[in-house]
Amino acid sequence: MLRHLSSTHDRFALNAPFRISRGVKTAADVVTVRIRDGAHVGRGEGVPYPRYGETIDGALAQIAAVAPLVDGGASRAEIAAAMPAGAARNAVDTALWDLEARIAGTDVATLAGIAPAAPLASAITIAIDTPDAMAAAAARHAPVPLLKIKVNREDAVAQIAAVRGAAPAPRLIVDPNESWTIAEVTGLAPFLRDQRVDLLEQPLPAGEDGALAEIASDIAICADESLHTRADLAALRGRYSHVNVKLDKTGGLTEALALADDAVARGFGLMVGCMVCSSLGIAPALLLAGRAAFVDLDGPLWLAQDRDGGVTDRTGILHPPAPGFWGGA
């Protein structure tokens, strides 16, 4: 039987509104790719992100355009050459990894020559709300190892102080999602140190982050929106200490693995992150997470109902999906 690719738009309602500095969402809209080859089916997921000019319809169109290549047996390298980095390529690439492993009777970790996914500490995200509401959310998660606080410009100090007051023990990531200026970065540095913030994620808009090279920060600063693929790394030297690898930005696990290797070779620390997605989007990212200093893969925890057999969280420790969920044996 010949290969056959199919793709769908799937929507997962959230269990609470997810607010960041750019807006709020109440559902996760994803594209799901299935590639059948005889008795074997490989699956992959991508989350088109409006910040990068992506839409569900646009992603489905990109996938449909390469379907004849995939059906004809194209490799992951050939798909990478035929598609731009982004959510659509992520869905196809990770479906191909899954399919290859199932056909080979092994798992993706073995095929890639890397360690298998294992339970690890992953950030629990506190979305933007009133300081009191954020404190209440933080109090519910006070025992976890790592919290990530979404903030804006207007209430950042109150938001961070509220979370830290309610959860004194966890490590902290603060994520302004490009909403700060360099004045905030420098002016808030003493406060961030006092609050024991471990990582500041993408404080300035991508394309306007050159000012970071002019300051000395004793708090680690991580590139998110400023980093997509290996081609971006050279420009980030001197601006960031860490880089956030997301498969929906790299366009799949293939480029994410190469990006992680290149970033480490250039002296960057690694963070592995995600969009708000189902466990099908998290399973491939877990193969990178063991190498990262910071892991932020709680996307499925925001869903009212995840895919069956997905990841589970136990007090801030994320456990991989059930055997056979993704990645072969």
Q: Which residues are catalytic?
A: 150, 246
3-state secondary structure the chain: CCCEEEEEEEEEEEEEEEEECCEEEEEEEEEEEEEEECCEEEEEEECCCHHHCCCHHHHHHHHHHHHHHHHCCCCHHHHHHHCCCCHHHHHHHHHHHHHHHHHHCCEHHHHHCCCCCCCEECCEEECCCCHHHHHHHHHHCCCCCEEEEECCCCCHHHHHHHHHHHCCCCEEEEECCCCCCHHHHHHCHHHHHHCCCCEEECCCCCCCHHHHHHCCCCCEEEECCCCCCHHHHHHHCCCCCEEEECHHHHCCHHHHHHHHHHHHHCCCEEEECCCCCCHHHHCCCHHHHCCCCEECCCHHHHECCCCCCCCEEECCEEECCCCCCCCEC
